[in-house]
Chains A and B, each alone.
Chain A
Amino acid sequence: DVKVTQSSRYLVKRTGEKVFLECVQDMDHENMFWYRQDPGLGLRLIYFSYDVKMKEKGDIPEGYSVSREKKERFSLILESASTNQTSMYLCASRRAGGADTQYFGPGTRLTVL
């Protein structure tokens, strides 16, 4: 059974803190994605990665960075958290090529105070 896991379901941080969100997949997928989901705005792509050490900006990369040192792990980093980064963060993975489905993790609800 395919699985994408995220390090935390709920996270509360203070403004200015550095925040790490971790995502791990066990399907040997090449592609991994980070989205944020906000009411009325839907899912928006922050960053994605084609393969190890490769990353591409999505539609809303400002204020975020990513790291992919191993194939199974994709980390999202908020260098200095701000209140407007309070959101639901969803990680997904997919085989290379685009024809296959994306598999999503359970999400991390991040609140920045």
Chain B
Amino acid sequence: KQEVTQIPAALSVPEGENLVLNCSFTDSAIYNLQWFRQDPGKGLTSLLLIQSSQREQTSGRLNASLDKSSGRSTLYIAASQPGDSATYLCAVGEFTSGTYKYIFGTGTRLKVLA
């Protein structure tokens, strides 16, 4: 059974730092991997979607990489800002039993200090 782990669970950094959030998964037979952002009490917003054939995706200050063989993905945030404070979730997409499903990690809660 696929398990998705995100470390650390919480992170606090000063504004302007570059930072890396980690996601690991136990079964490399994935369809895709997606990073989401969640603000307190709100729904999830998609940040980056990496298909299994891709190695990375970039959007603005965000870069996500995928290494299927080692079961890892990283989300790199450049020049962090207080507005980046949120919980970041990674979700692994699988095709099992004729169904496409996402398995979610429990998230990394990020606080960027002004």
Contacts and interface: CB of A to CB of B under 8 A. Distances in A.
A42 B106 contact: yes
Given A42-B107, A56-B99, A99 B46 contact: no
Given A90-B43, A106-B43, A107-B43, A99 B31 contact: yes
A41 B100 CA distance: 21
A98 B106 contact: no
Interface of A: 4, 31, 40-45, 48, 56, 58, 88, 90, 92, 97-107, 109
Contacts of B89: 42-43
A42 B104 contact: yes
Chain B binding surface SS class: strand
A43 B101 CA distance: 12
A4 to B, nearest CB: 8
A56 B101 CA distance: 11
Nearest to A10: B41
A107 B41 contact: yes
A106 B31 contact: no
B81 interface: no
Interface of B: 31-32, 34, 36, 41-46, 49, 51, 89, 91, 93, 95, 99-102, 104-107
B76 to A, nearest CB: 20
A74 to B, nearest CB: 15
25 contacts: A4-B43, A42-B89, A42-B104, A42-B105, A43-B89, A44-B104, A45-B101, A48-B99, A48-B101, A58-B101, A88-B41, A97-B100, A98-B93, A99-B32, A99-B51, A101-B46, A101-B49, A102-B34, A102-B46, A102-B91, A102-B102, A104-B36, A104-B45, A106-B43, A107-B43
Given A90-B43, A98-B95, A107-B42, A43 B31 contact: no
Contacts of A103: 46
Contacts of A58: 101
A43 B104 contact: yes
Contacts of B105: 42
